[in-house]
A and B are shown apart, each in its own frame.
Chain A
C-alpha cells in the first residue's frame, strides 16, 4: 500500500474574523505541528493551497506560510485548483513522501473570503469562461446549485422539505464542532422562512463564504513509526481526476456542456468518476466506509454526492436521507463535521479541513460527534474548471 501517515491535524475556527488568511493558516499550521509533536524546524517540505481573490496566487503560496512560521530552508510548493486546492496540496505532499523527496510535510490552506457572491477578478476578460458567465448571464454559483436542485425535483421527486432536512442534519452536527462557524441547531421552518436566493434554493440551503484555515502534518509510514506513531491514521488514496469528454452535465463556470453528438457520454459522469478513482486506488468501496465528508455547497448537492459516492442508487439520495442513514448515529454519517452548511467556504482550506475531520473521527477523538468505531472515511469535492478531488483515509 502506498500509505502516508497523518501525524497531525489542526484548524483555525471558521467565521468572519476580518483578518488576513496568513493568520488563520499559521494558527492551523501551529496546531497541526503541536498535534503531531513535530518541531517546525524538522519539517523539510511545506505545501500551501492557494487562493486568488484579493491578490495573485503567488501571494498565497506555501512560501507565505513558510515565511510566517519562520524561514528555515524547507522545500516549498504552492498549488491552485479552486475548491480542490486543498486536496491537490495533500496529493503533492503525498507524492513527495512516496517519492522519497521528503519524510515529513506540512500542508496548509487558509482564506479570508469576501462577503456575498464569489465573483471573478476585475477587468474585461472575455476569454475567461468564469468572467463570461457573470458578464453575459449573471450566473452566480448559487444559480448553478439551483439548476441541479430544480432538476432533481423534476427527475427524482425531491422536495424543498428534503433539501431543508439536509440543513437540519448538518446544523445539528455542526453544533457539536468547536471549529464550525455556525454552532446552533436549525429547524426546517427556519430554512423555509429564509429568503430565496436562487429559486428554489433559500439562504439556508446555500453555504456561506467564510474565513478559516486548516493544516495537516503528513509523513512516511517509516517516519511515523520512528516518531512513535505505530498505528496512525493513513491516507490511502487521493483522487484528482478531470472529467472525461464529453462532459454533459452543465457545470460551473460553463455556459454550455460539451456536445455528445460525436462521442457517447461517459458512464460514470464526472462527480461519480472522482469517487471511483479514489475507491480504486484505496482498494475499497462504499460498503467499507464509516463516514463521508462531502462538499455541500447546497443542500440539494449533498444528495447528489450520496449517489455519486455509491451510498445509494441514482435518485435515491433523498430516501437515504429520510431514513436517517446519513445523520450522526446512522448507518453512514455524511458531514459529521457539520459540512459547509456549518463551516461555510474558505476555499483552499476546506478540502484539508475535511481530512482533519476524518483524522479525528478515525482516531476516535471527535467528541460528541464521534462516529462509533470509525475505520474508513472518504472526502469529496470538486474544483472549478474540472478538478476532481477525493481523499480516502483509514485506520
Chain B
C-alpha cells in the first residue's frame, strides 16, 4: 500500500522508517519524495533512500475515542477501542512524524518531550494479507 515507507523483515531492533534525502541540499522527506526536491531554493538533486532516526521525542499526542470513518479499517462488529496517536519530533531530521502508539499505550502513559521509538506492527489483515505499519513505543527508562 505504501511501498518503501519502512524496512521490511528483520526484528524491532532494526525496524526503521525510510525517507529520501536530496543529494544537492540534503533536505529529508517522509513520506518519501522520489520525484522532485521540495526545497524552493534547491535546483534539485538525486533523491536517495535514507533510514530515519529510530528514536524521537513526543511533540504531542491524543486518543481517538470514536471510530474513524473509512478508509480506516476496523471491524464494525467489535466494540471500539480508543487508539493513541503520537506526533514525534526526530532530532537529526528536525521533523515531526505522526503514528499510532503501540496497543496498550494510553494518553496517561505519555508526555510532551518523552522518548519513544519506532516499531513494526500490524495495521490490518484480511484473508490474503497482513498489512504492516509503524507504531511508536515509549522507551523504557534505563534502570
Question: Known: A151-B59, A198-B65. Is A260-B95 also a contact (CB below 8 A)?
Answer: yes
Most buried by A among B30, B62, B113: B62
Most buried by A among B31, B42, B96: B96
Question: Known: A136-B123, A261-B27, A261-B28. Is A143-B62 also a contact (CB below 8 A)?
Answer: yes
Alpha-carbon distance between A256 and B86 when the two chains are bound, in angstroms: 11
Nearest chain A residue, comparing its CB with the CB of B106: A199
Nearest chain A residue, comparing its CB with the CB of B22: A262
Question: Known: A126-B2, A263-B27. Is A196-B65 also a contact (CB below 8 A)?
Answer: yes
Stretch at the interface among A35-43, A115-123, A344-352, A364-372: A115-123
Q: By the criterion CB–CB under 8 Å, are A137 and B65 in contact?
A: no
Q: By the criterion CB–CB under 8 Å, are B26 and A262 in contact?
A: yes
Which residues of chain B have C-beta atoms less than 8 A from A248's C-beta? Answer: 94-96
**Taking chain B's interface residues, is the majority helix, strand, or loop, or is none over half, making it mixed?**
loop
Contact of B60 among A132, A139, A150 (CB under 8 A): A150
Q: Does B138 contact A (CB under 8 A)?
A: no
Chain B interface residue bracket vs A: 35 or more
Q: By the criterion CB–CB under 8 Å, are A147 and B73 in contact?
A: no
Question: Known: A154-B111, A263-B27. Is A134-B95 also a contact (CB below 8 A)?
Answer: no
Nearest chain A residue, comparing its CB with the CB of B86: A147
Q: Does A187 contact B (CB under 8 A)?
A: no
Most buried by B among A137, A245, A260: A137
Q: Which of A85-138 contact B (CB under 8 A)?
A: 116-117, 119-120, 122, 124, 126, 131-138
Contact of A245 among B28, B40, B69 (CB under 8 A): B40
Q: Does B1 contact A (CB under 8 A)?
A: yes
Q: By the criterion CB–CB under 8 Å, are A255 and B28 in contact?
A: no
Question: Known: A117-B68, A136-B133, A150-B60. Is A259-B98 also a contact (CB below 8 A)?
Answer: no
Nearest chain A residue, comparing its CB with the CB of B83: A138
Q: Which of B8-38 contact A (CB under 8 A)?
A: 22, 25-31, 38
Which residues of chain B have C-beta atoms less than 8 A from A138's C-beta? Answer: 64, 68, 72, 74, 83, 85, 100
Q: By the criterion CB–CB under 8 Å, are A140 and B112 in contact?
A: no
From residue A115, how far is it (CB to closest CB) to chain B in Å? 10
Q: By the criterion CB–CB under 8 Å, are A150 and B71 in contact?
A: no
Q: Does A257 contact B (CB under 8 A)?
A: yes
Q: By the criterion CB–CB under 8 Å, are B66 and A197 in contact?
A: yes
From residue B132, how far is it (CB to closest CB) to chain A in Å? 11
Most buried by A among B29, B59, B68: B68
30 contacts between A and B (CB under 8 A): A117-B66, A124-B71, A134-B70, A135-B1, A135-B72, A136-B133, A138-B74, A150-B61, A154-B113, A197-B65, A198-B64, A199-B82, A199-B107, A201-B62, A248-B96, A249-B96, A250-B59, A255-B30, A255-B31, A256-B98, A259-B27, A259-B28, A259-B95, A260-B94, A261-B92, A261-B95, A262-B26, A262-B28, A262-B42, A263-B25
